[in-house]
Every structure is written in C-alpha cells, then in structure tokens.
C-alpha cells in the first residue's frame, strides 16, 4: 500500500492515528529518517489520555540546539503508512507551532521494513 505526499514542498508529512485511554487522534507527522525515536507533541499525548509528566522513564535527546530529556510514553497503538504497532514507545516533546506538524515518525517505527520514498511520483511505501 502506498501513500501520497507533496514532493515539491517542505517536509514529507504523513498521517498517523494514535490510540489512548481517552480515544484516538489523527496527527500530522514529519517522516524523519534522521530521528532515532518517534516524537509526539506533549499536548497531543495528553489529549488522548497520556500524562507525560507522570512517566518515570526519560530519554536523552539531542536536538538542533541542545540536549534535553524527554518522557518515554508507551502508546496503546499507533497506525501509520499502513502499519500498526502496539505497546509502542514514543517520546513526548513540545514542538514549536512553526513546525507545522504534531511530531516526527522516526526510525524506530521504520526498522525491519522496506521504506520507499518516490519523489518523482510523490508516493511512500512501507512494507
């Protein structure tokens, strides 16, 4: 199954649905092969029933400007690019509004799969 993206503008953005105790939400995530972990905006995690402030596990993250510690939240389920992961850990981090996305889909989601990004046709396949 392949999914479309705009190959001529900015980030490669995909849709992902996250599930928690308070329901689910469809988010816009930047496909980021430079990110080791999937990162979700803290506000989005709270909206579907997670409280990153109560999570004991923190992971050191190197950003473009600093080193920070982000809470590691285990999602009930995440669906993206035709794939589903359960009990999937993500990092909670506050992204600036100028980012234009709700988070990053990182290498942890992609590992063990074949990722094809076709910039000529604007199609992504993860199999």
| pTM score of the predicted model | 0.93
Domain limits of the chain?
2-126
Q: What is the mean pLDDT of the chain?
A: 95
Q: Hunting for tokens 């599930």 — which residue is that?
A: 19
> Rounded to a whole number, what is the distance in angstroms from the first to the last CA of the chain?
8
Task: Note the CATH architecture for domain 2-126.
Answer: Beta Barrel (2.40)
* pLDDT tens digits along 109-122: 999 999 999 999 99
Q: CB count, 10 Å around CB of 7?
A: 14
The helix or strand, by DSSP H or E, that contains position 5, with its residue range, turns out to be none
Residue 91, pLDDT above cutoff 80: yes
Residue 105, pLDDT above cutoff 80: yes
* C-beta of residue 15 within 8 angstroms of C-beta of residue 80: yes
Q: How far apart are CA 88 and CA 102, in angstroms?
A: 17
pLDDT at 96: 84
Confidence grade of residue 20 (pLDDT, cut at 50, 70, 90): very high
How buried is residue 26: exposed, middle or buried, by Cβ count under 10 Å (0-12/13-18/19+)?
A: exposed
* C-beta of residue 37 within 8 angstroms of C-beta of residue 44: no
Mean pLDDT for the stretch of residues 28-46: 96
Confidence grade of residue 108 (pLDDT, cut at 50, 70, 90): very high
């Amino acid at each position: 199954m392949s999914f479309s993206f705009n190959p001529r503008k900015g980030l490669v953005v995909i849709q992902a649905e996250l599930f928690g105790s308070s329901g689910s939400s469809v988010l816009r995530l930047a496909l980021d092969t430079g990110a080791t972990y999937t990162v979700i905006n803290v506000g989005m995690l709270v909206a579907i029933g997670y409280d990153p402030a109560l999570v004991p596990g923190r992971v050191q993250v190197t950003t473009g400007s600093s080193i920070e510690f982000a809470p590691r939240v285990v999602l009930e389920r995440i669906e993206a690019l035709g794939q589903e992961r359960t009990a999937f850990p993500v990092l909670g981090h506050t992204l600036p509004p100028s980012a234009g996305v709700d988070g990053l889909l990182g290498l942890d989601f992609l590992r063990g799969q074949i990722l094809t990004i076709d910039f000529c046709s604007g199609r992504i396949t993860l199999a």
